[in-house]
Chains A and B, each alone.
Chain A
Amino acid sequence: MLDTLSYHRHKLALIFVLLWGALMANLWLGEAKGWHAIDWLDVIGEGGSAIALGLWMLLILGSRPRGRVTDWLTLGLGFMCLAMWQDTLDEFLRLPAGQWWEQGLESVAMPLGIALLTYGLFHWHREQLAINRQLRGREQVFREHRWLDPLTHIGRAEYLKQQIRTLSEQPPLMLLMVDINDFSLFNRRFGHRCGDRLLREVTEVLLLNLRQRDLLCRYAGDRFAILLPHTEQLEARRLAQELRQAVAHFAFKTDDGVSQFQSLRIGLVMCDGERTAEQLLDAANRALQLDQQRPKAA
């Protein structure tokens, strides 16, 4: 938190100087009230509010990156804190009448602070919506960590089965099973670390060539499964062909910087309501075995 606070030292310095300035001006110009004239209830109420506002400001600064929204939020809370601070000092010191700055601090700082805070909160809300959108694009909001494949950061078989069950209620739904040809030989030749990198990069290539509504999962090993909601057979074949071409033209660089091209085998089944998720996956795997169309790697 301290690291993050150091990004905001200018704003903090400004608020601190204003608070300190108000205290000094009050001490300079005002005269102390007698003990009996102090309303302790007011002191606790107003002083406590000032401290709480200051604390909120620090918490927000400590948890946020630099930016416009952070500035609005800090300044809003800062001015509110300043107004409360002046109120608290009033309880101890009596100022002579006609001090323009005292009037300003008490009646302008508070509404100004509230306005800044409101504006900041509005933008913070829009920012959060944008972040949610960005997360949703990739992984359909994973509530359960065990559904996520640690290597490729896409869903794994368990999540896939669950999604088949959910999505097959709104046909037509197509299931593609995609397998990289001779991946075990690739692993043997270039090592499993390089093989892992290939899997990660092929995941990206596949994701880039899918539509917003499609779902890519890692089935096991080098086999991926893709769910295409609201898709007819013809459309699915076209998409499969596009994936084949995209991967065939993807020049993966091995650790020595040499290009290696891969080819895919793809099995395709239509998900009807009659078969269970497991039966559909078995059917897709069988279809995959039958796919003999193996374009020669360049």
Chain B
Amino acid sequence: MTPLAWPLGDAWPSPSKALTSGWSEQDEPLFAAHYQPALLMDLLNARGLSSHQYLRGTGLFYDDVLQAKARLSVKQWLQLVANAGACYGSDDLSFRWGHALWPGHYDAFSQLLQGSVSLQQSLQCMARYRAVLAPLLTPMVWADQRYCMISWQDNYGLGEYAPFVAEAYMTGLLAYCRWRSGEQWPWRVGFAHAEPAYREQYQVNLGDALFFDLGANVLLIEREFLQRPWAEQLSPTALAIAERQCLQQVQPATGFVALVMNALRQREVQSLEQLACYLELSPATCKRKLKKHRSSFQQLQDRVRLEQCQYRFHVCGWSNERVAQHLGFSDVTNFRRAYKRWCGITPSASKRLFLGLL
């Protein structure tokens, strides 16, 4: 099963063995510091914090950011997030950052998001130009006749910072839709993490249909919204020019975690040894690389399986038996036990929880 928002081989290249260095890692300086990270810095500056404070340990200086040439790695970025959380002092930083993310100020890329025709096209842009528009988490769209589910692909392994980034990106997408459509849409918002103490921030920024402890970060909405044209649109010529400018810029390779999860999704690999062979690495190196990205093989495999279950349960409406059979479990009891290990609740409880509002 592949996500629906973009054709295979185009923006989300099917990993092939020919790609020896076909991935990028979390310590490679790939992302422009004056794009999304700078929006976070703006909020910290407005609070009166000094750049020495929030850039400590990142090896970055604010003057470099102003030069618009500095690039930073995911590792440095997460250090910035950690510093920011420590010195900002309120719970709303991620949400405020989210509001500023899209269309943002990313030259032609922002213009694409200002001019796209529908949510589907906007999401396609985000996935295609993910190095600029959605580097940490990239939206993937799954849909059937009735519902559309957007799940977020963790590209480089966010570890403990996943809740912060998920809050920001999901707030960002909802705020973007609110802005483009001019109305409030009936989103259901589900988070992988447990309900935090500051639920009020979620309510105000993401609405009242909130779910926690789902094991995955997902947004759910009726499918018709995906193709509904935005209220205001850019001239098609301007859009085409922006598109051409974006295409001229070189995109970094897929993130390591995204690559591994994609291989799992395609059922190209089933075990750590197969993965090592697939990536042309020794098993020990492969394990070390996974650890560097705050992940393990088991964890990523569980995440992919959960994602496939949730899609089949929540979007396609399959029964437990059918999903168990599809995923190759010997019986439903085994499947139920495994599902509980993935996200902490049984499949039927998950269905009740998330489909309660469908």
Contacts and interface: CB of A to CB of B under 8 A. Distances in A.
B99 A184 contact: yes
B90 to A, nearest CB: 6
A220 B201 contact: yes
Interface stretch (A23-31, A116-124, A187-195, A248-256): A187-195
A184 B178 contact: yes
Interface in B302-340: none
B189 interface: no
B198 A196 contact: no
A8 to B, nearest CB: 34
Interface residues on A, range: 20 to 34
Contacts of B204: 179, 219-223
Interface stretch (A39-47, A107-115, A281-289): A281-289
Interface string B159-200: 000000000000000010011000000000000000001111
B42 interface: yes
B347 to A, nearest CB: 27
Interface string A127-159: 000000000000000000000011100001110
B218 interface: no
A234 interface: no
B203 A285 contact: yes
Contacts of A220: 91-92, 198, 200-201, 203-205
B246 interface: no
B92 A188 contact: no
A180 to B, nearest CB: 11
Contacts of B208: 282, 285-286, 289
Contacts of B99: 184, 187-188, 192
A118 B44 CA distance: 51
A157 B179 contact: no
B200 A157 contact: yes
Contacts of A149: 90
A151 B200 CA distance: 17
Contacts of A157: 198, 200
A185 interface: yes
Nearest to A160: B200
Contacts, number: 52
Contacts of B275: none
Interface in A247-298: 278, 281-282, 285-286, 289
A149 B198 CA distance: 13
Given A185-B179, A221-B92, A285-B208, A192 B42 contact: yes
Interface of B: 42-43, 46-47, 89-92, 95-96, 99-100, 175, 178-179, 197-201, 203-205, 208
Nearest to B175: A184
25 contacts: A149-B90, A151-B90, A157-B198, A184-B175, A184-B179, A185-B179, A187-B99, A188-B99, A192-B42, A192-B43, A192-B99, A192-B100, A193-B46, A219-B200, A220-B91, A220-B200, A220-B201, A220-B203, A220-B204, A220-B205, A221-B92, A221-B95, A221-B204, A278-B199, A286-B208
Closest 8 CB pairs of A and B: A220-B200, A221-B204, A220-B204, A157-B200, A220-B201, A223-B204, A219-B200, A193-B46
Contacts of A187: 99
Give the residue among B90, B100, B175, B198 with the most A Cβ atoms within 10 A: B90
Given A220-B92, A281-B200, A192 B179 contact: no
Given A157-B200, A289-B208, A188 B179 contact: yes
Given A157-B198, A184-B179, A192 B205 contact: no
Contacts of B198: 157, 220
Contacts of A219: 200, 204
Contacts of B91: 220
A187 B100 CA distance: 9
Interface string A52-63: 000000000000
Contacts of B95: 221
A192 B46 CA distance: 9
A179 B203 CA distance: 12
B95 to A, nearest CB: 7
Contacts of A150: 47, 89-90
A289 to B, nearest CB: 7
A187 B42 CA distance: 14
B309 to A, nearest CB: 30
B88 to A, nearest CB: 9
Given A220-B91, A221-B92, A223-B200, 14 more contacts: A150-B47, A157-B200, A179-B204, A184-B99, A184-B179, A185-B178, A187-B99, A192-B42, A192-B96, A219-B200, A220-B205, A221-B204, A281-B200, A282-B208
A278 B199 CA distance: 10
A282 B201 CA distance: 13
B35 to A, nearest CB: 17
B87 to A, nearest CB: 12
A279 to B, nearest CB: 12
Interface string A86-113: 0000000000000000000000000000
A200 to B, nearest CB: 12
